[in-house]
Amino acid sequence: MSGKRAITLLASACALAGVAVPLAAAADGFYKGKTLTLIVGTIAGGGYDANGRLVARHIGRFIPGAPNVVVQNMPGASGIKAVNFLYAIAPKDGTTIATFNSAMPFYETVGASGVQFKSTELSWIGSLSQNVNVIVVMRDTGVRTLEDAKKKEVIMGALTGGGTMSAYPILLNNLFGTKFKVVAGYSGGNEVNLAIERGEVQGRGTTPWSTWKTTRPEWVKDGRVVPLVQIGPKKDPELAAMGVPLLDDLAENEEQRQIFRLLGGNTYIERPFAGPPRIPADRLEILRRAFDAVAKDPQFLADAEREQAEVDPQTGENVALLVKQIVGSPAAVIERVKAVMPAGGAQ
């Protein structure tokens, strides 16, 4: 994303926020005595779950009426199950929100199986980070670079039906001749890690680098995981120092660059939080400003540091604009991406 485009998006978000502030006063008493349910679209124990519970511990302090906040895990279909529920079934009164795989707008865009939601209609509250994702293999494979992965088959674990954990290794196979063999069917990222421990698979497709540092810090410290490529809006300094290339830098032409931007668009909105469509405007305003306040709160930041959770937030207004861009990608680019996606996309 160009600097000029990013500035335009930020200015638009600030303008939206400025006109919305007075609305919150009307909802100040709504949350008193109520429970706010935060749905996590993964199983317990992974990065999304950890970040969801982290926010849940703090956000109630910044909502007028200080509601009780409870977390409910709803895994399935790489997060699609939770977002389908949020979109069509969850109460639309502001008492239910969710955090889920940031690739949801991408899944919708490429027509992934099972998608029953419209990303642009969700009530975006914010995102916690703009994170770099990585494709990793285990050290004992002997693979250290993408060039090595062109010469040796590596078995990669992925979720049921695949999602981006399947899409990225398959994309690299199709574009660069790597020999990744994807084994899908795991219920969550933690299950993939357990499969690695059992020796069933030898690596994992796109996952935030911060998730590895949070959920398997000993693997990172000991060099047991080997990042082959980083995917994100900019290079992570730690990964760059390790010589890990940014996917965009590997593009051989403009078409490949556009493909990578569509596939990697979710890295701008990592750890997103949203509500169902048509939340009353005053309550959405309260939730958005509460999220913004949490992301700046010293207690929260200290808690995040202890858990090694990276915080680089986006406002709900800005996330909504970025989602609109992803869904509005050029048709030719979408078709090219669909051609290299695993069958079913993200079941």
* CATH assignment at residue 159: 3.40.190.10
Residues 110 and 147 reside in one and the same domain: no
Closest CA to 137 of 116, 120, 156, 124: 156
Same domain for 316 and 242, yes or no, is no
pLDDT tens, the chain, 347 aa long: 444 444 344 444 444 444 444 444 556 689 999 999 999 999 898 889 999 999 999 999 999 999 999 999 999 888 999 999 999 999 999 999 999 999 899 999 999 889 999 999 999 999 998 878 899 999 999 999 999 999 999 999 988 655 778 888 988 998 899 999 999 888 878 889 999 999 999 999 888 888 898 889 999 999 999 999 999 878 889 999 999 999 988 988 888 888 888 888 888 898 999 999 999 999 999 999 999 999 999 999 999 999 888 899 999 999 999 999 999 999 999 988 887 665 544 43
Q: Is residue 346 part of a domain?
A: no
Rg of the chain (C-alpha set):
20
Domain membership flag for residue 284: yes
Which of 263, 279, 310 terminates a domain? The answer is: 263
Are 108 and 212 found together in one domain?
no
Q: Is residue 158 part of a domain?
A: yes
Any domain includes 345: no
Specify if 7 maps to a domain. Answer: yes
Domain containing residue 11: CATH number: 3.40.190.150
Shared-domain flag, residues 118 and 145: no
Q: Which of 207, 229, 263 is the last residue in one of the domains?
A: 263
- How many separate domains does the chain show? 2
Q: Burial level of 129, CB count in 10 A (0-12/13-18/19+)?
A: buried
> Hey, what's the torsion of the CAs at 238, 240, 246, 249, to 10 degrees?
160
Domain boundary among 263, 286, 301: 263
- Nearest residue to 289 via CA among 61, 105, 116, 117: 61
Residue 156 sits in the same domain as residue 224: yes
My answer on whether 89 and 140 are in the same domain is no
Domain range enclosing 208 = 133-263
Same domain, 217 and 146: yes
Together in a domain, 161 and 85: no
pLDDT of residue 161: 56
pTM tops 0.85, yes or no: no
Question: Does any domain span residue 219?
Answer: yes
Do 295 and 208 fall within a single domain? Answer: no
Q: Is residue 200 part of a domain?
A: yes
Do 153 and 102 share a structural domain? Answer: no
Nearest to 49 by CA among 222, 205, 187, 202: 187
CB–CB of 205/179 below 8 Å?
A: no
| Domain identity same for 99 and 32 | yes
